[in-house]
Chain A
Amino acid sequence: MTPDKAEMARHFTESIPHVKALGMAFTHLGDGEASMRMPWDARFVGDPETGVIHGGAVSALMDTCCGAAVMSHPASPGTTATLDLRIDYMRPATPGQSVRTTATCYRLTRTVAFVRATAWDDDDARPVATATGAFTVEGVT
């Protein structure tokens, strides 16, 4: 466990205005793995008829969580930025339920971090979305 990296990742992520705006919060962070939760909110709905959260809000959550996973990796020298991120939407998230996501930085080189993530609502058996991404590896400037 490397608490300094996790602490830095937490501090950096929690200070992001858009993270605060969407009400995202950590439930786990450390050693290249991060879990976050985003409560359902009427403002983030994508389909007013059903109340389903917009895919973009789920993207924002997964992107944030992937970035935090990279920064919390024991070998991470500092910050990171998204190079590319692919999201697959399996099903709509159930209205009224939080969206939870866990991201794993499964490989970190000197220049690139590779990450994958899964998102769920209250049903652990059926993912809402999965993501794979490549992130930059940057020292603290």
Chain B
Amino acid sequence: MSPARPEPVQVVKQRRDAALAALSGGVPYIQYLGIGFERRGDELTAVLPFDDKLIGNPRLPALHGGVTAAFLETTAIIELSWQMLWPDIEAGALDPDRLAAGELPRLPKTIDFTVDYLRSGLPRDAYARARVNRSGRRYSSVHVEAWQDNRSRLFAQATGHFLMPPRDGG
């Protein structure tokens, strides 16, 4: 008896990308800031393309601290949601068409978020990655790092706590 053939790679990619697009694409504020997500397997990198409307100090000019906070918080929530949904995405339990139509599962909510501003954000693209340090049944703790030209020179980092959505039957 031969093992089951693995799914074609296009099918797997399409399902993962559809889930990611649904997760980030349906939120107006994420679209307004222009934040996008790049995916390598299950690893996500958030990208914030520079735009004049994101400036907070016209003299420097520098990214607005609030934009940086919003970018990091968005990265944290999407990463946490992504990890939460990943098993269902892989199992094919989430219908991409229904996700695309805006039928998203309940997502984590921010309890608190602390941003550490390490240097001013330059007027160019910014990147961020989040790491879920603890994911519990009710609470999660997520750390986020953001950089611009050099991955090792962070311009901001943040830690946040999130309230997890109630699970079915829990």
Q: How large is the interface on B (under 10, 10 to 19, 20 to 34, 35 or more residues)?
A: 35 or more
Q: Contact check, A43 vs B32: say whether CB atoms are below 8 A apart.
A: yes
Number of A-B contacts (CB under 8 A): 127
Distance of B119 from chain A, by nearest CB (Å): 10
Query: Is A45 engaged at the interface, CB distance under 8 Å to the other chain?
Result: yes
Closest B residue to A90 using CB positions? B111
Hey, which chain B residues are within 8 Å of A59, CB to CB?
66, 69-70, 73, 113, 115
Q: Contact check, A17 vs B55: say whether CB atoms are below 8 A apart.
A: yes
Choose from A44, A60, A81 the contact partner of B120 (Cβ within 8 Å).
A81
Hey, which chain B residues are within 8 Å of A46, CB to CB?
27-29
Q: How many angstroms from the CA of A4 to the CA of B160 in the assembled complex? A: 38
Q: How many angstroms from the CA of A82 to the CA of B155 in the assembled complex? A: 12
Closest A residue to B116 using CB positions? A84
Closest B residue to A48 using CB positions? B26
Chain A residues packing against B (C-beta within 8 Å): 15-19, 21, 42-49, 53-57, 59-64, 67, 79, 81-89, 141
Q: How many angstroms from the CA of A13 to the CA of B74 in the assembled complex? A: 25
Distance of B24 from chain A, by nearest CB (Å): 12
Q: Contact check, A60 vs B27: say whether CB atoms are below 8 A apart.
A: no
Distance of A58 from chain B, by nearest CB (Å): 9
Hey, which chain B residues are within 8 Å of A45, CB to CB?
27-29
Contact (A16, B58) CB under 8 Å given A45-B27, A48-B27, A54-B27:
yes
Query: Is B131 engaged at the interface, CB distance under 8 Å to the other chain?
Result: no
Choose from B26, B52, B71 the contact partner of A56 (Cβ within 8 Å).
B71
Q: Contact check, B27 vs A18: say whether CB atoms are below 8 A apart.
A: no
